[in-house]
Amino acid sequence: MTSKIPQPRCLPVVGNLFDLDPVNGTQSVGRLADKYGEIFKLKILNFEFYIVSSAALVAELCDETRFEKKIDDALEEVRNAAKDGLFTAHNDEPNWAAAHRTLTPAFGPLAIKDSFEEMHDVSSQLLAKWARNGPDHEIDVTGDMTRLTLDSIALCAMDMRFNSFYREDLHEFVRAMNDMLTESSRRTTRTKLGALLNHGAEKKYFKDIATMKRVAQECIDRRKGAPRKKDLLDMMLYGKDPATGLPLTEETVINNMLTFLVAGHETTSGLLSFTIYYLLKNPEALHKAQQEIDTVIGSAPVEFKHLSKLPYIEAVLRESLRLSPTAPGFTVGPKSTKEPVVLGGKYVLPGDAKITILLTKSGRDPAVYGEDANEFRPERMLDENFKKLPGGAWKPFGNGKRGCIGRPFAWQEALLALALVLQNFNLRMADPSYELKIVESLTIKPAGFYIKARLRENIDPITLVKKLHGAPATVESKADSVANTRSGSAAPTPSGSPLTILYGSSSGTCENLAQSLASAAEARGFVPAVSQLDGAVDNLPKDHPVVLVSCTYEGEPPENAKIFMQWLKTIDPAKISGVKYAVFGCGHKDWVSTYQKVPRAIAQILTDKGATALMERGETDVSQGAIFDDFDAWSDNLWKVLSPNVSQPESQSTFEVELSTMSRASHLHYKLQNAKVLSNERITHPAAAEKRHLTLKLPSDMRYEAGDYLAVLPQNHEQLVARVLRRFSLPWDTSMTITNGSHATIPTKQELPVSVVLAGYIELSTPATRRNKDILAQHSQVPLMDDSGSVLDILERYPDIKIPFSTFLSMHPSLRLRQYSISSSPLHEPTEATITFSVIESAAHKGTATSYLKSLLPGSTLQVAIKKSSAAFHLPLDDSLPIIMGAAGTGLAPFRGFLQERAIKAEASQGNKTIGEALLFIGCRRPDHDALFARELADWESKGIVKIFHAYSQAPEKSSNCKYVQDRLWQERAEVARIFENEGARAYICGSAAVGRAIGDVAVRILMEESEKDDMAREKWEQWRGERYAVDVFD
């Protein structure tokens, strides 16, 4: 029985043109694949083609007895430059066969081995550049990998040196090539009228092609006048086709020179860039890779013989190509165009069909790779597993006779470069919160991806260069020399003494604590250095104290501490012995099994490996709302240890402020992007607590999944700012400059409007800490009988208190980002996202973020970033798996995104896709007051997308006498047990901590009813966390 092939709705003339993003074409096709399934049809203007994304269908399409490579529209445009070169030729063009026969020996094993020394030479230039720039230099990974691979193919294949590492800008060939590839892709979606209107782009396009051909011709001219060298260019110029005995024409030589210069570096540079990204996002894999290199090669120079002994490094590269194939697809068609063909036993395609294989999706097929198909797990690519993969599951080098001829060259180049980098450097993200963004031409690469590289222990730039060039590395490194002369002291003389403060932070709280500790340290005469924990890998000092502040995220280290934790677990104790440290941790006691897990582990491992604790580990339970009080109390004891002879400063101010009435523009601190407010609606009854639904237009390069968070940077309410100005008798246009000392986030020696600082830099509503109250009491003429509320509340209550404005500023932590669960799916509209939130607003208190969000009108700009939720808090990759969702109030937000996504997939697939059952347990007060998205949910329920179970706390008679969501869950326990126990459903909980606890307790009761004992049921429920169920709670 045949199945209809789905297709997005076509518009007259242009067809599906507007379903594709002209800048991010591959990504937009990938989103369509998510929506329409393993095969769908597109029509762009007059051209029709098919997209295939499942490994099973790809395996059929790679059967060369039925299908063959076709040149798609984008490659047809590239033919303007490369004509009938190996990559862009049609199957029936004689020059392809002649060049293929002539040049294949150039990529044989011996020829590839002979290129090792030249590859090593270029890689050494990369390493030398990184070493000389130092550990804090931000490295443009994609840019440097492009330099590496371009210089390698040019030198090894054509004896031509571009010397890209000795210039700031890229070679003119690279600039011309990049622009040519991008424009080739854009030309495929441009109408004739569009081409006429883009005359400038057309002119530049052919100028870029002329530049590329000129460089190739110059290379040929130089070679003709020079002694022969056995390489690819020599074979192109002087080799003869073994079938005809004829040499290649000079035009064919130029066409293939361009092919090799383009294809020979573009894809490999992407491979190396993606690989470094995935390793840094997966510290355990990074450690295993580095450990293999240390075992096989050690500190010796990397030699050709080593490359065949690095199975894990090979698996890393394979896994990177699986997740992010730099050539993201290729096109095939039936060999016989006379009759229709049947694909997958049910899809009928015309004989002249062009079918694009979407490798970015087929390589992530959960039918092959399982539910963790989107995760980076190199073990699945070790030889014994790799050989068992089905035929269509891994095709990043193309297929059959039209597969990549340069694969052996690229593989050796990538192995060597990665081995050298990991042997000599410890890498970390320049921005630990960076999530992968893609830049597209005909290939894909990471966009805006920067790292920092610190030389590993006992290596400095001089010894590195000597080792790379074969000299014995016997000179003691400067870093090691310093380390060997260090002597620790628990209580250094504060004046000018260094203090290292390290933090691991998810939402910014621990970073704020670290910065506030640094300010206090400065006031006591220390010279503090603040860094993320990942920056301390192989760099944990022994000559001065180290303070470590961290939280735990879903039982794991935060993003900027993952590499540090992996290093700490595996490092030789001798490297830790002698470190003097203090640890403070943030946690939430509602999560008993993971409370303080990471801070506790840091302290335990440090002690076990010979480090000395300066004091007891400190901690705060954020559910108690006393983070800063707990931290102040702990840091008071820390100063007693570190500087017992230094008295407590009179106030917290560590800087001086000059006030003036001259206003200047503000400065913002976080790495965010601007989103535009499209709508902002109240979605509850006027008599109910206010909840709102905000729709945003995101930047085109901002990507998210259903279940992710939107981080927003709020502002303090203008009424709150006005209160501060009034209390300090400051005009509204007063400006300030920090002239002496420093603040954690407010720029120094830069004039800023006071109103901007108050609105956008500090948390004005934070309750006053015990230390704040002590300072205020010192400046008050009367006892503070009522010291509740914020610092401003107390100052207004006691007008006789006179404190400097600088002291007032220093009493407040920096303004932090707020995270909200996204309540939409990108399949609905990829550049839009919604958040759904409760407005916290009373006579006594306005929520900083929610009151700000409420005030935003359509057209307003909001600064945002996407924050990934835990890996488990996303829909299963297998759409047929059932899901169970439990929430109350705005905890419904992520589940609206889940259901919206499944509804879109069900409609788009036209019955070709099985969508699993979904049960939604949702609590609110009344059905007519605050039942969020009631009509939308009812519509989805009528279509079989979800089955909804309500719990109305103020109208339980309308919800089967169930008052709370946990009550309804218990009432429907038979249904829940059926799909959870018997059908492998995934469960999700979202809401307050109390809701999370209550639902967890009911889950344990359900397990107990299934014959489990209480302790065993609770243990099993905890074991399933992050695998069978996921939790997202907020307070």
Q: What is the DSSP string of 838-898?
A: E--B-SS-B-HHHHHHHHPPTT-EEEEEEE---TTSS--SSTTS-EEEEEEGGGGHHHHHH
Q: How high is the pLDDT of residue 489?
A: 39
Query: Active site includes 397?
Result: yes
Which helix (H) or strand (E) element contains residue 370?
Answer: none
- Given a cut of 90, whether residue 124 has pLDDT beyond it is yes
Is residue 949 predicted with pLDDT exceeding 90?
yes
Q: What φ, ψ does residue 409 adopt, rounded to 5°?
A: -65, -50
Lowest average pLDDT, out of 124-128, 657-661, 1001-1005, goes to 657-661
Supply the pLDDT for residue 1013.
66
Q: So where are the chain's domains? A: 94-451, 486-642, 655-810, 883-1034
Tell me what pLDDT residue 390 has: 94
Global pTM reads 0.83
Per-residue buried b or exposed e for 874-895, using 16+ beta carbons within 10 Å of the residue's own CB? bbbbebebbbbbbbbbbbbbbb
Instruction: Please give the backbone phi and psi of residue 632, each rounded to the nearest 5 degrees, phi first.
Output: -60, -45
- How long is the chain? 1035
Q: Which residues contact 64 (CB under 8 A, 6 or more apart)?
A: 399, 400, 401
Q: Which amino acid is at 908?
A: A
pLDDT digits (tens, 9 = 90+) for 251-282: 999 999 999 888 888 899 999 999 999 999 99
Non-local CB neighbours of 602 within 8 Å, separated by 6+ positions: 548, 550, 565, 568, 583
**Do 883-1034 and 486-642 have the same topology in CATH?**
yes
- The one catalytic residue in 397, 728, 805, 1034 is 397
Catalytic entry in 404, 551, 924, 990: 404
Q: Which of 267, 268, 443, 848 is catalytic?
A: 267
Helix and strand numbers (H, E) in the chain are 37, 32
Tokens 């920092």 label which residue?
A: 452
DSSP label of 485: T
Q: Is residue 640 pLDDT above 70, yes or no?
A: yes
Three-state DSSP at 586 gives strand
Residue 105 confidence class, pLDDT cut points 50, 70, 90: confident
Q: Hey, which residues does 294 pair with through a beta bridge?
A: none
pLDDT in tens, 897-911: 999 999 999 999 887
- How would DSSP label each residue in 767-818? BPPHHHHHHHHHT-SS--S---SBHHHHHHH-TT----HHHHHHTSPBP--E
| pLDDT, tens digit, 9 for 90 and up, residues 912-943 | 788 999 999 999 999 999 999 999 999 999 99
739-778 CB burial, b ≥16 within 10 A, e <16:
eebbbbbbbeeeebbbbbbbbbbbbbbbbbbebbbebbee
- Distance (Å) of CA 389 to CA 55, 208, 359, 381, 386: 10, 41, 15, 9, 6
Smallest CA-to-CA distance from 441 within 358, 364, 327, 355 is with 327
The C-alpha atoms of residue 220 and residue 635 are separated, in whole angstroms, by 69
SS3 state of residue 214 = helix
Q: How far is CA 984 from CA 707, 879, 884, 917, 990, in A?
A: 20, 12, 11, 11, 20
Mean pLDDT of 551-575: 89
Bridge partner residues of 39 (DSSP)? 52
CA distance 276 to 273: 5
Question: What pLDDT shows up at residue 472?
Answer: 47
- Output the CA–CA distances (angstroms, integers) from residue 558 to 116, 693, 927, in the order listed: 40, 29, 39
- Tell me which H or E stretch contains 157: helix 141-158
pLDDT of 355 strictly over 90: yes
Per residue in 499-516, pLDDT (tens digit) is 999 999 877 788 888 988
Could you write out the DSSP letters of every residue in 94-149?
A: HHHHHHHHHHGGGGSHHHHHHTHHHHHHHHHHHHHHHHHH-TTPPEEHHHHHHHHH
pLDDT at 51: 98
Which pair of structure tokens corresponds to residue 412?
A: 């050796």
Element (H, E) at 482: helix 478-484
φ, ψ dihedrals at 697, nearest 5°: -95, 120
Tell whether 156 is in a known binding site: no
Residue-wise pLDDT tens digits, 976-1035: 999 998 888 999 999 888 898 899 899 888 888 866 667 788 888 888 888 899 998 876
pLDDT at 666: 36
Q: Is 816 exposed, middle or buried (0-12, 13-18, 19+ CB in 10 A)?
A: buried
Q: What is the CA radius of gyration of the chain?
A: 31
When the pLDDT of each residue in the chain is averaged and rounded to a whole number, the result is 89
Distance between CA atoms of residues 248 and 233, nearest Å: 11
Lowest mean pLDDT among 128-142, 272-286, 437-451, 621-635: 621-635
Average pLDDT of span 578-588: 93
For domain 94-451, which CATH number applies: 1.10.630.10, 3.30.1490.20, 3.30.70.20, 1.10.260.30?
1.10.630.10
Tell me if residue 330 is catalytic: no
Of 787, 783, 780, residue with least CA distance to 803: 780
Q: Are strands 918-924 and 883-888 parallel, antiparallel or unpaired?
A: parallel
Backbone torsions φ then ψ of 1028, nearest 5 degrees: -95, -25
Q: What is the largest CA-CA distance in the chain?
A: 105
Q: Is the Cβ–Cβ distance between 174 and 151 less than 8 Å?
A: no
Confidence of residue 467 (pLDDT cuts 50, 70, 90): confident
Write down the pLDDT at residue 747.
77
State the Cα torsion 508-513-518-519 to the nearest 10°: 100
Topology (CATH) of 883-1034: Rossmann fold (3.40.50)
Q: Which of these, 651, 650, 635, 632, lies nearest to 806 by C-alpha position?
A: 651
The class (CATH top level) of 486-642 is: alpha beta
Domain 655-810 - what CATH class? Answer: mainly alpha
Q: Answer yes or no: 695 catalytic.
A: no
Given a cut of 90, whether residue 480 has pLDDT beyond it is no
Whole-number Å distance between alpha carbons of 649 and 522: 11
Say which range, 335-344, 447-456, 556-565, 654-663, has the weakest mean pLDDT: 654-663
